Structure 1
Amino acid sequence: MVSTQNENYTINKSKPNKSTTYRILTILLIGGFLSMLNETALNIAFPHIMLQYNISAGTVQWLTTIYVLVSGIVFLISAFLIQRFSTRKLFISSMIFLIIGTTISGISTNFPVLFIGRVIQAIGTGILVPLIFNTVLILIPQEKRGLVMGLVTLVVLSAPMFAPVLMGFLMGFMDWHWFFLMVLVFFVATIILGLSSLRNVTEITHPKLDILSVILAAVGFSGIITGFSGLGEYGLSLNVIIPLFIGLVSLILFTIRQLTLEHPLLDLHVFKYPFFTIGIIINVINVMVVFAVVIILPIYLQTAIGTTSLIASLVMLPGSIFNCFLPLLAGHIYDKHGTRIVISSGLALMCISMIFLSHLSASTALMIVLIMNCGLYVGSALLMSPNQTNALGNLDSKYYASGSAIMTSLQQIGGAIGSSLFVSFMTFSQNNYLQNLINPTATQQVSALVSGVDFAFLIGAVVLGLVFVLSLFLKRETPT
């Protein structure tokens, strides 16, 4: 048996045969795709929901932000869950949460009910996604992980990109509620498939869960995201400073506690590996920027240019298609040629695309927006899988559970921060444009929105440029 950092977690040496391995991964990936499909599906419907429920952009973005925040917090305890419960039990539990949450979202008639449904959905996603990554690390030999991680990335991380396209297409014919009711059918089919075919791949132990660590992490990330989400509307006021301060203090206390506990919730010693630390930074920034674009671009297309939700989804469709298939190619290139060639190239392409996206106007041709969006998605797809493989696959096996939990949780938290922070940047610039105008016209309102969109995307380009420089220090390493 191979033990992890707390010496309680053991990997079953009796690995399944190839056929069984493929069946286990297929079931998990189907569930993972469906769960992540829910994550961003509502983004294309935000303008409609804002009108339907009479809420602002800052409020409506919480439907996505709360999803990634809650799932990210659950990711933090995934190392404990994987050690405490069998693969089969965790999968079934995640499906139950997803079925309940999807049902509530599909029948919701007001914002609070929809919000609750999103929270329940997120719990299911938070259980399932780390389980997928951990299962790959257990079942797949290191020399083949690049390609398999590319497949996982294709299935799990392409879903949030494809979901707004599917939602926009459906909204051309029916109300957005029907999306959830249609996905619900597939969730039910998936849990039936799991009950009949899924088997366990780990041996169960009885680790202790440090509740205080969970509370500190939840308060910390919630405080930071709440502060960032109010930045555009309130500026550097107490409404922003107080939650940010509480969040930062909580995360500092969380870090100190993890480093002093005999059996921590997460073993933060994984950050002693430079390839892991740099990989985490790249992963978080990538997800922040992509989530920001997935939320802001549909608002721009439907509000500034005046497209329908269907047309907006079609503009985003080619990028989503690239995002689906390129991770496999990127994983193959990583296996053959190493780390920097794909990760640095992907970041460079993302940065260039964001620079062009920061020069949008109310008269920008849809084809131009489509091409720039494709560039962003292609860059993200090129770097995501190799970066995850390099950061996780080269860790010592005793860090697999904590490394996977940290990677997936910070990925989700990054999405939540990106959603709230960049919408705040947009709102800040938009309000700054309108502050000296009395009774602004519809044209001026549109110009203000475009100004906000351009400012948010410019910040994204600057951040990506800095991370590109950081990526040049990456190399594939083997831990000692």
Structure 2
Amino acid sequence: MATQVNVKNPNIYALVLMIGGFMGLFSETALNMALTDIMADFQVSAATVQWLTTGYLLVMACIVPASSYLIKWFNTKSLIMTGIILSFIGVMVGALASNFIMLLIGRIIQALGTGVLLPIMVTVLMLIFPIQKRGAVMGIMGLVITAGPALGPTLSGVIISASSWHFIFWISALMYLVVLLMAISKTEDVGDITKPKIDILSILLSTITFAGLIFALSSMAEASFSNIIVWLPFIFGVVSLSIFIVRQFKIDSPMLDLRVFKYPMFVIGAAMVFITILCILSTGILLPLYLKGALLYSSVIAGLILLPGNAVNLILSPVIGSLFDRFGARYFGIVGFLLMFIAAIMFTLTISAFTPIWVIIIAFIIFFIGISMVMMPAQTNALNQLPHHLYADGSATITTLIQIGGSAGTAIAITIYTTAMKSFSKAYPSVGEEAVLSHGVQFTFIFITLLTIIGIILSLCVKRTRYNK
């Protein structure tokens, strides 16, 4: 059995980490409902304002891989405190922002804090709970990972309707203060500090990789692939990634121990998580734009329309976590992706400027039932395949993929959405703005449908293997 680390109160410890993780993930999409307001306040375009989401995810994707070093160099408690304090500073800058650049800087600082917290959350939970309880615990963690981004638009819609988008940051600041006080008294140091040699070149290569790829994808919202601002960073990203992978196998103390990919079920589970996050973040940025821009609902009504789907996720995630310990990941993955496919088809076939709202609510509920069935089982099954000494690298790898998936999902969705709208408005210049926006969203759901098909194929390959000891 994998080694378990004893702490005074593992449940409270887990609660601190999950609140911190939830706040960071909530912030990924919390501004989605406010993007139109921010565009008006700061006079920026949709392609520019989406950097508040993409930039946040990009910074996290750059910092998370280095977390495997951080966990081996610094005390767990110190890292948790650092992550929470950075997050608090970031939301304070956002709350006080008087221009777009200041707001973006605040988002970047908060993303640094979240990028430190998330991998620690996964690693610590794998260490402080025995393997027979991991399903239930990781079910709750899966809820945090999916509910954070999913609830962002709903909660922020209520906040915006009551006041302004600035209060999203003020309320977050209050929550971070509470979790900081809890962390001071309830967290302990776990894990081994081995202080491996830090490979600066690996950190630089990973940063260039993720910055290049995500910048290229995001730039495609305003420029074609033939434009130098798209293809040049894309090439830089691909070349850096290739060098990074080769280097990890050659150095004695790799930044990410890519031997985790020698475990087939880890690879499949990580890929399923990646696809699920692509779907969550793509949908998370599309539906608020559609509900407010095409169907003309207010922020609070748009948020409440998405609430039933989020509520289903809140209820199902812990239940599926408990059932996972009995049934494993295979059947959950197959059924979950099938449900996501059905929901994506419903969105693709029905979205227009006149879609009945009950159709959107039902499709969103089905979508999140599927997500609840895929996310936690896939991640837990993947990590359970790894030996104890690879937990930190495995969790850092999956968390990195989650951030890349989030960044890519947001960037690709906005790119497809913007391109489809431009093409449709040129073909039908007399059509109203609501119809053009609806077409952009509808066309983007074809991409999400294709992702769910890939997910179904992957889930068919899942096997319940014996856990590594």
Same fold (TM over 0.5): yes
CA contact (8 A) 2:158 2:300 kept: yes
Farther off after superposition, 128-137 or 33-42: 33-42
Is the contact made by 1:228 and 1:424 (CA closer than 8 Å) also made in structure 2?
yes
Aligned equivalents of 1:260, 1:101: Cα separation in 2: 37
Q: CA deviation at 1:446?
A: 2.2
SS at match of 2:301: helix
Q: Are residues 1:346 and 2:336 paired?
A: yes
- 1:469 aligned partner: 457
Contact 2:61-2:210 within 8 A present in 1 as well: no
Partner of 1:175: 164
1:319 deviation in Å?
0.9
260-269 vs 328-337, which deviates more?
A: 328-337
Residue equivalent to 2:324: 334
**Alignment-mate amino acid for residue 49 of structure 1:** I
Asked if the contact 2:91–2:110 (Cα under 8 Å) also holds between the matched residues in 1, the reply is yes
8 A contact 2:384–2:467 mirrored in 1: no
Structure 1 regions of 5+ residues with no counterpart?
3-10
Q: 1: distance between equivalents of 2:244 and 2:250?
A: 10
Read off the aligned partner of 2:249 and give its amino acid letter. Answer: L
The equivalent residue for 2:244 is 254
- In the alignment, what sits opposite 2:124? 135
Q: Distance in 1 between matches of 2:455 and 2:197?
A: 37
Q: Which residue of 1 aligns with 2:108?
A: 119
How far apart, CA to CA, are the structure 1 residues paired with 2:399 and 2:112?
14
- What residue is the counterpart of 1:49 in the other structure? 38
- Please provide the CA RMSD for this pair: 1.6
SS at match of 1:358: helix
Superposition deviation, residue 37 in structure 1: 1.9
Asked if 2 retains the 8 angstrom alpha-carbon contact of 1:330 and 1:383, the reply is no
CA distance in structure 2 between the partners assigned to 1:463 and 1:176 by the alignment? 32
Verify: 1:308 aligned to 2:313, yes or no. no
Q: Contact 1:29–1:156 (CA<8 Å) still a contact in 2?
A: no
Distance 2:282 2:196 in 1: 37
Q: What is aligned with 2:356?
A: 365
CA separation in 1, counterparts of 2:275 and 2:60? 18
Give the CA deviation at 1:202. 2.2
Q: Is the 8 A contact 2:221 2:419 kept in 1?
A: yes
Q: How does 1:150-161 map to 2 (within 5 A)?
A: 150-161=139-150
Shift in Å, 1:463: 2.0
Instruction: Give the one of 384, 399, 404 matched to 1:408.
Output: 399
Q: Which residue of 1 aligns with 2:425?
A: 434
Query: How far is the alpha carbon of 1:216 from its aligned partner?
Result: 0.9
Residue in 1 aligned with 2:213?
Answer: 224
Unaligned runs of 5+ in 2: none
Q: Do the aligned partners of 2:266 and 2:382 also contact (CA within 8 Å) in 1?
A: yes
Q: What residue in structure 2 maps to residue 163 of structure 1?
A: 152
The alpha carbon displacement at 1:155 in A equals 2.7
How far does the alpha carbon of each residue in 1:352-395 deviate from its partner, in whole angstroms, 9 at most, with x for none?
Answer: 10111112000001111111111111111111000010000221
Inter-partner Cα distance in structure 2 for 1:361 and 1:54? 27
Q: Which moved more, 1:173-182 or 1:462-471?
A: 462-471
Deviation per CA, 1:5-57: give whole Å up to 9, x if none: xxxxxx7x76225xx11221122222222222222100011111112212222
Say which of 386, 392, 400 aligns to 1:395. Answer: 386
Task: Write the distance in 2 (CA, Å) between the matches of 1:95 and 1:312.
Answer: 30
For 2:330 and 2:185, the matched residues in 1 are separated by: 42
Contact 1:79 1:402 in 2 (8 A): yes
Identity of aligned residues (%): 35
Cα offset, 1:197, TM superposition? 2.5
Q: 1:25 aligns with which of 9, 14, 20?
A: 14
Total equivalences in the alignment: 466
Superposition deviation, residue 436 in structure 1: 4.3
Matching residue's letter, 2:337: L
Aligned twin of 1:74: 63
Secondary structure in 1 matching 2:132:
helix
Q: 2:188 maps to which residue? A: 199
Structure 2 match to 1:292: 282
Out of 148-157 and 212-221, give the one that drifted further: 148-157
Displacement of 1:110 in angstroms is: 1.1
Q: Partners of 1:384 and 1:109 in 2: how far apart?
A: 38
Q: Distance in 1 between matches of 2:186 and 2:382?
A: 31
Q: For 1:245 and 1:448, locate their aligned partners in 2 and report how far apart those are by CA, in whole Å.
A: 33
Alpha-carbon distance, 1:156 to partner: 3.8
Indicate the SS of the match to 1:265.
Answer: coil
Other-structure match for 2:311: 321
Q: Distance in 1 between matches of 2:36 and 2:360?
A: 19
- Tell me if the contact between 1:162 and 1:321 (Cα under 8 Å) persists in the aligned partners: no
**One-letter amino acid of the counterpart of residue 478, structure 1:** R
Q: Are the counterparts in 1 of residues 7 and 188 from structure 2 also a CA contact under 8 Å?
A: no
Q: TM-score, length-normalised on structure 1?
A: 0.94
2:440 is the alignment partner of 1:449 = no
Equivalent position SS for 1:167: helix
Residues 297-331 of structure 1 show CA distances to partners (whole Å, capped at 9, x for unaligned) of 10011111111111110111111111222111221
Deviation at 1:179, TM superposition (A): 1.4
Cα deviations by residue, 1:114-153 (Å, 9 ceiling, x for unpaired) = 0000000001001111111101111111111111100112
**1:479 Cα offset (Å):** 5.8
Q: Residue 24 of structure 2 corresponds to which residue in structure 1?
A: 35
